[in-house]
């Protein structure tokens, strides 16, 4: 099929440009000298513009229209039909946003990120407020340009979680919150707490790196096709087939940051490495959604990596590697410490239960901003009121309140919900994996994670974007996305530690 091959060739070139951008971005955040940033910004802007041009090219639009009218497309499940469906989605979205708006968003968010960083440092919300105003106004314009069914927020959410709607996310989050709140309250009232000092002892960084890499390799991250480097704000970048970059950061007196950061990013990396390389650059070779991506990182980090069976294997090794820190520590005490549940101000430091409340708060505020019901100037008050109602704590400053996250400054409105969707999917997938693979915990006790990794490769990774997130969840687990598996998992695990 000449037309289809032509289409795929064009989209693959865009994929190559994106992948060039990923190398530049990875280098910028790991090895680039600070003085290189202005030149790097120019390189990245050029690559981004070329990619956007490829996607909005009138010839690509023509090819799509020809293909959509052709007989092979009648089978919606065929590979060409899937690629055409998703390329159409990408093209339409890109074409609907006027170049002027694309440029203005890029310019405004680059500047807004710098202002945000300074404002957070100075604890000065008023400095950031006009920039938040601008970003929200531009994102509202983007939502109008893209179009939506019910509310403008749908158009923004759809960029990160294709097919998800505000209504459906609101419903599942409300159900989650209704059960999470009493659980968190019961734990707070239990009077129990782990020995936190266990994780805040001397953990030499070079040993953390070796131990973390060994764990990432054990769960199935292929270091012949990837690597691990140090950065300030960790991320995983799938450059392309055979090349996936993980990053982390170490704290010499905090075991959690480095180790669980590595497991998290390795989970993303295993997904990237499991995508079909032959389809590189096309939707069939790309991750289903941010929520599904996050489900893979949370599954390894939390469901597996904070579980008893995992540590029955790794704890004896940790005691050898970190002999000074863990000499007098028992497995039970260590396990309780890595599962410390405690309301706190900062999202990225939150435990796996209260984390979701942080997301629900942001999801509600974002919707109000996009709907025009909340003005940027009123964000601190709205944030603190909601935060107090949810956590019974009052943020002492903006850095621990509404200025803590980078997302709004970079225009990432609609991004936050994908984190909690990831937690929901992770619990749901893990339930299914346990049912499909009896004795899985015994595997973990032996340090063997191959059956789980292969199951994820088969059920999720190899499909790329063949199924939208919701359909993939339905297909893998037999059920729509739901709060129940996550709540069951949290109740079971934390119930044991806290006796609630
Ligand atoms: Zn992640």
Residue 312 annotated among the catalytic residues of the structure: no
Which residues are in the CB-under-5-Å shell of ion ligand 1? 297
Distance, in Å, from the CA atom of 363 to the CA atom of 358, rounded to the nearest integer, reads 9
| pLDDT for position 34 | 85
Query: Per-residue pLDDT averaged across 228-252, rounded?
Result: 96
CA of 393 to the centre of ligand 1 (A): 26
DSSP alpha helices (H): ranges in 403-498? 417-436, 440-445, 450-459, 469-477, 484-498
Distance, in Å, from the CA atom of 85 to the CA atom of 283, rounded to the nearest integer, reads 9
Distance, in Å, from the CA atom of 198 to the CA atom of 225, rounded to the nearest integer, reads 34
Give the residue from 188, 494, 172 showing the smallest Cα distance to 353.
494
Distance, in Å, from the CA atom of 410 to the CA atom of 131, rounded to the nearest integer, reads 10
- pLDDT above 90 (res 1): no
- pLDDT above 90 (res 42): no
Q: What is the pTM of this model?
A: 0.96
Of 265, 272, 301, 366, the catalytic one is 265
CA of 62 to the centre of ligand 1 (A): 37
Query: Domain 166-498 belongs to what topology?
Result: 1.10.1370
CA of 351 to the centre of ligand 1 (A): 14
CA of 75 to the centre of ligand 1 (A): 34
CA of 249 to the centre of ligand 1 (A): 14
Domain ranges of the chain: 2-147, 166-498
Q: Which own/partner contact pairs does 40-48 have at CB distance under 8 Å and 24+ positions apart?
A: 41/110, 45/106, 47/17, 47/18, 47/20, 47/21, 48/21, 48/106
Q: What confidence tens digit (pLDDT) does each residue in 244-268 have?
A: 999 999 999 999 999 999 999 999 9
Contact (CB, 8 A) for 29 and 235: yes
CA of 30 to the centre of ligand 1 (A): 18
**Helices 450-459 and 417-436 meet at what angle, rounded to 10?**
120
Q: What confidence tens digit (pLDDT) does each residue in 159-188 have?
A: 999 999 999 999 999 999 999 999 999 999
DSSP per position, 224-283:
GGEEEEE-SS--EEEEETTEEEEEE--BTTBHHHHHHHHHHHHHHHHHHHHS-GGGTTSG
């Amino acid at each position: 099929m000449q037309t289809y091959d032509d289409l795929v060739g064009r989209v693959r070139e865009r994929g190559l440009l994106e992948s060039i951008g990923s190398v530049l971005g990875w280098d910028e955040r790991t090895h680039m000298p600070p003085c290189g940033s202005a030149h790097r910004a120019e390189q990245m802007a050029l690559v981004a513009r070329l990619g956007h041009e490829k996607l909005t090219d009138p010839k690509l639009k023509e090819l799509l229209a020809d293909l959509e009218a052709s007989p092979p497309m009648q089978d919606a499940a065929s590979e060409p039909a899937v690629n055409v469906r998703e390329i159409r989605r990408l093209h339409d979205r890109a074409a609907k946003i006027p170049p002027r708006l694309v440029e203005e968003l890029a310019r405004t968010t680059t500047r807004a990120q710098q202002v945000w960083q300074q404002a957070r440092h100075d604890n000065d919300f008023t400095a950031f407020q006009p920039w938040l105003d601008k970003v929200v106004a531009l994102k509202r314009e983007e939502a109008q340009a893209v179009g939506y069914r019910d509310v403008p927020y749908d158009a923004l959410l759809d960029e990160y979680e294709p097919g998800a709607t505000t209504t459906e996310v609101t419903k599942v989050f409300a159900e989650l919150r209704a059960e999470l709140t009493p659980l968190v309250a019961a734990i707070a009232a239990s009077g129990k707490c782990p020995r936190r000092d266990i994780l805040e002892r001397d953990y030499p960084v070079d040993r953390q790196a070796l131990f973390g890499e060994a764990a990432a390799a054990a769960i199935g991250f292929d270091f012949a096709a990837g690597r691990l480097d140090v950065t300030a704000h960790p991320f995983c970048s799938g450059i392309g087939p055979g090349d996936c970059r993980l990053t982390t950061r170490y704290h010499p007196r905090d075991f959690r940051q480095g180790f669980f950061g590595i497991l998290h990013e390795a989970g993303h990396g295993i997904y990237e490495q499991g995508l079909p390389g032959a389809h590189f650059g096309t939707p069939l070779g790309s991750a289903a959604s941010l929520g599904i991506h996050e489900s893979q990182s949370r599954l390894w980090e939390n469901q597996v990596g904070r579980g008893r069976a995992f540590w029955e294997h790794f704890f004896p090794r940790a005691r050898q590697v970190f002999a000074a820190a863990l000499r007098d520590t028992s497995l039970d005490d260590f396990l309780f410490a890595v599962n410390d549940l405690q309301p706190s101000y900062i999202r990225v430091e939150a435990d796996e239960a209260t984390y979701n409340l942080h997301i629900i708060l942001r999801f509600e505020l974002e919707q109000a901003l996009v709907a025009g019901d909340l003005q940027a100037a009123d964000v601190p008050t709205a944030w603190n009121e909601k935060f107090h109602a949810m956590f019974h704590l009052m943020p002492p400053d903006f850095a621990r309140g509404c200025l803590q996250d980078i997302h709004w400054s970079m225009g990432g409105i609609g991004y936050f919900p994908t984190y909690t969707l990831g937690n929901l999917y992770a619990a749901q997938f893990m339930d299914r994996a346990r049912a499909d693979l009896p004795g899985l915990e015994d595997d973990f006790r032996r340090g063997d994670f191959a059956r789980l990794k292969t199951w994820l490769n088969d059920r999720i990774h190899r499909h790329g974007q063949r199924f939208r997130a919701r359909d993939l969840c339905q297909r893998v687990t037999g059920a729509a996305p739901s709060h129940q598996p996550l709540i069951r998992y949290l109740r079971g695990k934390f119930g044991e530690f806290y006796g609630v």
